[in-house]
Amino acid sequence: MIKLREEESEFMSKLLIEGGHTLSGVINVSGAKNSIVAIIPASILAEQEAVIENVPNISDTNDLISILNLLGVDSTFTDNTLKINNSNLKNILIPAELSTKLRASYYFMGALLAKYRHAELYYPGGCNIGARPIDIHLKSFEKMGVQVTFLDDKYILDAKELNGADIDLRFPSVGATINIMLAACKASGITRISNAAMEPEIVNVADFLNSMGAKITGAGTKEIVITGVNKFHNGNIKIIPDRIEAGTYLLAGALIGKDLVINNLNPNHLEALISKLEASGVKMQIDSDKITVSSSKNLIPINVKTLVYPGFVTDLGQPMQVFLARCNGVSLFEETIYENRMQHIKYLQKMGAKIKMDNNNIALIKGPCHLHGTSVTATDLRAGATLVLAALIAKGITKIDGVKHILRGYDSLPIKLKKVGAKIKIVE
């Protein structure tokens, strides 16, 4: 067995993974990143206090808490519970270096509009997986009476009156659906969102807003109705399990698990992934809050196309490609949500995967591939998770650079994987 040494890399934070070790035991899934990143900005709408449970300890959470603190909000974050008190909230400009750290800083647009009818924010950051415009958010705000100006690299959103409106989304954007809900819950009158995104995280955010006195119905369907209210009270919510984290570990189990239990998940949120794995021949024991999975031989190649929820989620598209590389034959993968979500392919190829690209968003994957360890770079969050999966099944040691991307969205990934038998560690 190859020994992992601390001195493998002295200067950069890297993940070192020695592949080929069977994963057994229990992995507990944390709270959903895509919920907490909206719920933290939403918490400024509480009358004073909000209590949020099952909060994932990821860098996106910590960056948003830094923004809250900058806005004058007091917070404590212990044992995955975040308590906030916003009695001293101020509406001040969030510096570019903070708001460009993550995509979800744009939820302060909706939340500050609801609270102050005025918000100023720099363009949000996040993974470089496509152009990611925010035109749907801005056009929807305009329909509600907001004047949008872009000046000195920042958006100035100003509403003399914030009014409910009928908003038909040209695409069911997750971010726009949540941002409209945030602004609309304290607007005058009724807002109807048609062609709304239906992701489970949207329901979680609506439940939190409703816990504070908002009147939102239909979250989780294509039609959401929000009746504006003047006054909010204190709020509380439990963050739902992270379906992307759960799906990533489910794939790890399907690749190299033996009775690996993925615990604290909601299988209903993973239906598209589960049905693809079943079609490929993976055997799973599915219970109400956990799935037990083992790797299988002779996996059948399958075709996967990413879609909006409840279709196959784009965030699991990249990790899924490692599984396709293990199937016996040619699988076809198509990414339909983002234009630039294939930057990891060159690294999978470097590890020995036989992947042919067609048209930038279609990959023909020929398996079964036998991967080998090498040096690779995580270019974005899910690309990082993909390389971790590839490294877990590769022969030898893989060094993954760009660990900060992975830590944005996976709570304690090295610790969780080590506990079930992976040889993995972060070195500085």
Quick note: the x/- pattern for ligand UD1 over 113-142, rule CB under 6 A, is -----------------xxxxxxxx-----
Q: Is 398 in a helix, a strand, or coil?
A: strand
Q: Which of residues 196-255 bind ligand UD1 (CB under 6 A)?
A: 197
Min dist CB 374 to ligand UD1, Å, is 27
What is the smallest separation between the CB atom of 330 and ligand UD1, expressed in angstroms? Answer: 26
105 is a contact residue toward ligand UD1 (CB under 6 A): no
Nearer to ligand UD1, 121 or 427 (CB): 121
Structure token digits, residue 9 = 């890399």
Segment 274-279 long-range contacts (CB within 8 Å, at least 24 positions apart): 274/250, 276/302, 276/304, 276/312, 276/320, 277/250, 277/251, 277/323
Comparing CA positions, the residue from 104, 129, 102, 175 lying closest to residue 404 is 102
Select 28 or 34, whichever has its Cβ closest to ligand UD1.
34
| Shortest distance (Å) from residue 309 CB to ligand UD1 | 7
Binding segment (CB under 6 A) for ligand UD1, from list 229-237, 296-304, 310-318, 323-331: 310-318
Q: In the bound complex, what is the minimum distance in angstroms from residue 137's beta carbon to ligand UD1?
A: 5
Among 15-23, 274-282, 294-302, 309-317, the segment contacting ligand UD1 (CB under 6 A)? 309-317
Among residues 314, 321, 331, 377, which is the contact residue for ligand UD1, using CB under 6 A? 314
Residue nearer to ligand UD1 on the CB measure, 315 or 411: 315
N residues, the chain: 428
Binding segment for ligand UD1 (CB under 6 A), chosen from 167-175, 261-269, 359-367, 397-405, is 167-175
Instruction: List phi, psi (to 5°) of 238.
Output: -110, 130
Q: Which stretch binds ligand UD1 (CB under 6 A): 79-87, 153-161, 230-238, 313-321?
A: 313-321
Strand partners, 141: none
Q: Rounded to an integer, what distance in angstroms lies between the CA atom of residue 317 and that of residue 320?
A: 5
Query: How many residues touch ligand UD1 (CB under 6 A)?
Result: 23
Q: Nearest 10 degrees: CA dihedral of 416, 41, 38, 13?
A: -40
- Of all residues in the shown chain, the one whose CB is closest to ligand UD1 is 175
Piece of 61-69, 168-176, 283-291, 395-403 that binds ligand UD1 (CB under 6 A): 168-176
Distance of alpha carbon 393 from alpha carbon 410, whole angstroms: 19
C-beta neighbour count of 158 within 10 angstroms: 15
Report, in Å, the least distance between residue 271 CB and ligand UD1. 15
Q: What are phi and psi of 110, to 5 degrees?
A: -60, -45
**Nearest distance, CB of residue 337 and ligand UD1, angstroms:** 5
Strands 362-366 and 354-358: antiparallel
Catalytic residue status for 369? no
Return the residues of window 174-193 that contact ligand UD1 according to CB under 6 A. Answer: 174-176
DSSP one-letter string for 77-128 = EETTEEEEE-TT----PPPHHHHTT-GGGGHHHHHHHHHHSEEEEEPP----
> Per residue, what are the HEC states of 247-302?
HHHHHHHHHHEEEEEEECCCHHHHHHHHHHHHHHCCCEEECCCEEEECCCCCCCCC
- Residue 171 binding ligand UD1, by CB under 6 A: yes
Please report whether residue 45 would count as binding ligand UD1 according to CB under 6 A. no
Catalytic residues: 127
The residues binding ligand UD1 (CB under 6 A) are 34, 37, 103-104, 130-137, 171, 173-176, 197, 313-315, 337-338
